[in-house]
Amino acid sequence: MKRILVTGGAGFLGSHLCERLLNEGNEVISLDNYFTGQKRNIVHLMDNPYFEIIRHDVTMPFFIEVDEIYNLACPASPIHYQYNGIKTVKTSVMGAINMLGLAKRIKAKVLQASTSEVYGDPQIHPQTEDYWGHVNPIGIRSCYDEGKRVAETLFMNYHDQNNVRIKIIRIFNTYGPRMHPNDGRVVSNFIIQALKNEDITIFGDGSQTRSFQYVDDLLNGMIKMMATGDDFVGPVNIGNPGEFTIKELAEKVISMTGSKSKLKFYPLPSDDPLQRKPDISLAKEKLNWEPSINLETGLEKTINFFDNLLKENG
Ligand code: NAD
Ligand code: UDP
């Protein structure tokens, strides 16, 4: 049995990760300040004696003895990370320093949940890990993008200078049950709007693309990455290469929910990447991993989740 710390454990991805790691027979500690996470995401795990929850902010030092650390603490949706950009940078940077310092002291392995946003609005397509990216350092997304880029830098430096056992994954747009209903991300927004027969809010003309990965596929990749030998540190892309325009996503959600919603177009926010698709050759080679859940299957599960949530809330 391993003892594992998950920062951001009450969030969308963190709560699924805690659940999976517990099911695999580990002892799990969730650390979260509940900025975007919710206790309701983990309440069903609380009667498991091998699960502990700690309210703590990763920008402050923290000490615990564990074998592995998954560092997920950071708001991930644009409206949440832009709400307090300074805090977002601090969470990425101070959070990375604190978790790396802890890993160094206790000789734990530490995995960083990095992001496809390190590629910014990419000029090469699909994105490979050796692409340096195209990020506006002073734009509205920069608190998140640059924070995550510095976190990667810190991970590599702690590895090179202090032999810390690090892993970096670059996560592409991931969706599924327990996404926060108000976080403004495209999959949750469209599903909720469609279920309520409200207008579907398309930013721009809807021709921008994203590649959508179902949460279970991500967890498989993340856990496989943690299990690799110390010589492979990444970064490695974890995403689903299936690429869709935002308009295609809207049409799919309308048809799958049988909704009467109409598309309504709004201005595209600045620095919104026009295309995004992972090259996952490295993950296939090093992790023997690739996603197996297609968009329809994943959307069906996510639609069910939001349908139940809306019924619960009247
Ligand atoms: P989320 O907002 O649901 O989860 C983030 C969690 O971190 C929340 O529980 C929040 O309360 C917690 N948190 C935020 N700031 C904190 C702080 N200072 N101290 C302690 N806890 C803090 O988002 P998510 O989608 O679950 O994302 C989790 C991680 O994965 C993030 O690091 C994000 O950057 C990364 N990621 C997610 C996606 C995606 O598509 N979901 C894509 C790329 C990267
Ligand atoms: N988007 C949209 N309508 C919405 C929410 C998002 O058209 O109601 C667009 C957004 O402009 C972006 C894409 O969908 O082009 C994905 O947005 P999201 O915030 O989910 O993720 P990110 O931009 O960080 O990849």
Query: In the predicted model, is pLDDT for residue 314 greater than 80?
Result: no
pLDDT (average), residues 163-174: 98
Query: In the predicted model, is pLDDT for residue 46 greater than 90?
Result: yes
Q: Is the CB of 76 under 6 A from ligand 1?
A: yes
- CATH number given to 3-179+213-241+277-292: 3.40.50.720
Mean per-residue pLDDT of the chain: 97
pLDDT of residue 313: 83
pLDDT band at 151 (very low <50, low <70, confident <90, very high): very high
pLDDT of residue 80: 95
pLDDT of residue 121: 94
Provide the annotated active-site residues.
144
- The protein residue whose alpha carbon is closest to atom 18 in ligand 2 is 185
Domains of the chain: which residue ranges? 3-179+213-241+277-292
Q: Which atom of ligand 2 is nearest to the CA of 269?
A: 11
Query: In the predicted model, is pLDDT for residue 187 greater than 90?
Result: yes
Write out the chain in H/E/C secondary structure. CCEEEEECCCCHHHHHHHHHHHHCCCEEEEEECCCCCCHHHCHHHCCCCCEEEEECCCCCCCCCCCCEEEECCCCCCHHHHHHCHHHHHHHHHHHHHHHHHHHHHHCCEEEEEEEHHHHECCCCCCECCCCCCECCCCCCCHHHHHHHHHHHHHHHHHHHHHCCEEEEEEECCEECCCCCCCCCCHHHHHHHHHHCCCCEEEECCCCCEEECEEHHHHHHHHHHHHCCCCCCCCCEEECCCCEEEHHHHHHHHHHHHCCCCCEEEECCCCCCCCCCCECCHHHHHHHCCCCCCCHHHHHHHHHHHHHHHHHHCC
pTM of the prediction? 0.97
Compute, in angstroms, the gap from residue 298 CA to the centroid of ligand 2. 18
pLDDT band at 105 (very low <50, low <70, confident <90, very high): very high
Query: In the predicted model, is pLDDT for residue 281 greater than 80?
Result: yes
pLDDT band at 6 (very low <50, low <70, confident <90, very high): very high
Query: In the predicted model, is pLDDT for residue 258 greater than 90?
Result: yes
